[in-house]
């Protein structure tokens, strides 16, 4: 059993995926499985990945999972999660890259604190060479108190690619990405913070988000409002299912207002 499985949806990332794969191969932690999920893009991303795997003799622990049709990143990640048997699960976008020490550091921290979630920080890399740091809201590593949980829920950003998630814990709570095309990552993180028992956290930036005009997350689409409401309805349903809606009702209402309603209005104003 591997220590970590890294899951990467693949959709039209031919210009960036080699850099991503090089950063995965350079990880100082060796016991890593990698699952690329072919989400049926229109470029030759999958062929590039297949050639790289063969060229570097990675077939024993790097795999490609083929979807039947293009279903979006949520379905791609969920399909791969059902295949995972490792201790921890990580998610990387195939057009980004990670520092060599990322997985080793996160795993060591997770084991030290017996954590369900182990997180670091990220860097936004812009085409003009500028960089911006993205930090997760900070709480002390260890068992979460109700006050810390409320703080995380009120202030979190959807930096799930900066994290490791304990696989058995994900299965215990049936944690997965909701079937939505916007807000699904943020809804997933909200669900995770609702039921995480222990976390491990460092503020060192190890994950690099590559900002480019083609990034799905930067396209202006009016229909996002409906999709975001769908995603955060899933968060509310998850809270009710797991008996924690009452205790966190008001902070969850704030999350819904901020992330499903207000952000949709901002998206709409940017699109007109």
Overall pTM > 0.85: yes
Average pLDDT over residues 96-116: 98
Q: How much is the pLDDT for 161?
A: 98
Mean pLDDT of the chain: 93
Is the pLDDT higher at 222 or at 112? 112
Domain-by-domain residue ranges, the chain? Answer: 4-214
Q: Taking 90 as the threshold, does the pLDDT of residue 248 lie above it?
A: yes
Q: How much is the pLDDT for 218?
A: 45
- Angle formed at CA 118 by CA 196 and CA 31, multiple of 5 degrees: 125
> CATH topology for 4-214?
Spore Coat Polysaccharide Biosynthesis Protein SpsA; Chain A (3.90.550)
Q: Are 139 and 152 in contact (CB under 8 A)?
A: yes
Q: Taking 80 as the threshold, does the pLDDT of residue 270 lie above it?
A: no
Average pLDDT over residues 214-242: 79
Rounded CA-CA distance 261/264 in Å is 5
pLDDT band at 223 (very low <50, low <70, confident <90, very high): low
Rounded CA-CA distance 30/227 in Å is 38
Q: Taking 50 as the threshold, does the pLDDT of residue 220 lie above it?
A: no
Q: Taking 80 as the threshold, does the pLDDT of residue 215 lie above it?
A: no
pLDDT band at 221 (very low <50, low <70, confident <90, very high): low
DSSP secondary structure string for all residues of the chain? --SEEEEEEESS-TTTHHHHHHHHHT-S---EEEEEEE---SSSHHHHHHHHHHHTT-TTTEEEEEPSS---HHHHHHHHHTT--SSEEEE--TT-EE-TTHHHHHHHHHHHHT-SEEEEEEEEE-TTS-EEEE-PPP--SEEPPHHHHHHHHHH----GGGEEEEHHHHHHTT----S-SSSHHHHHHHHHHHH--EEEEEEEEEEEEE--TT-GGG---TTHHHHHHHHHHHHHHHHHHTT-TTTTHHHHHHHHIIIIIIHHHHHHHHH-
Question: Longest Cα pair distance anywhere in the chain, in angstroms?
Answer: 54
Looking at the chain, the whole-number percentage of residues with pLDDT higher than 90 is 88
171-210 pLDDT tens trace: 999 999 999 989 999 999 999 999 999 999 999 999 999 9
């Amino acid at each position: 059993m591997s220590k970590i499985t890294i899951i990467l949806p693949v959709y039209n990332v031919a210009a960036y995926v080699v850099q991503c794969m090089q950063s995965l191969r350079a990880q100082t932690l060796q016991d890593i499985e990698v699952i690329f999920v072919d989400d049926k893009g229109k470029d030759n991303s999958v062929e590039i990945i297949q050639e790289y795997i063969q060229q570097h003799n990675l077939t024993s622990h790097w795999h490609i999972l083929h979807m039947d049709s293009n279903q979006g990143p949520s379905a791609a990640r969920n399909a791969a999660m059902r295949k995972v048997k490792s201790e921890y699960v990580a998610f990387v976008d195939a057009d980004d890259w990670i520092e060599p020490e990322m997985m080793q550091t996160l795993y060591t921290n997770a084991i030290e604190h017996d954590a369900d979630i182990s997180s670091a920080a990220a860097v936004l890399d812009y085409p003009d060479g500028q960089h911006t740091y993205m930090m997760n809201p900070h709480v002390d590593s260890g068992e979460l108190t109700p006050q810390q949980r409320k703080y995380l829920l009120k202030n979190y950003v959807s930096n799930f690619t900066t994290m490791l998630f304990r696989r058995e814990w994900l299965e215990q709570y049936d944690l997965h990405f909701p079937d939505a095309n916007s807000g699904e990552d943020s809804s997933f993180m909200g669900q995770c913070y609702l039921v995480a028992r222990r976390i491990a956290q460092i503020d060192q930036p190890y994950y690099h988000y590559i900002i480019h005009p083609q990034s799905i997350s930067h396209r202006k689409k009016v229909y996002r409002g409906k999709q975001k409401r769908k995603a955060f309805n899933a968060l509310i349903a998850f809270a009710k299912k797991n008996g924690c809606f009452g205790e966190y009702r008001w902070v969850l209402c704030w999350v819904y207002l901020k992330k499903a309603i207000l952000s949709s209005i901002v998206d709409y104003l940017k699109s007109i």
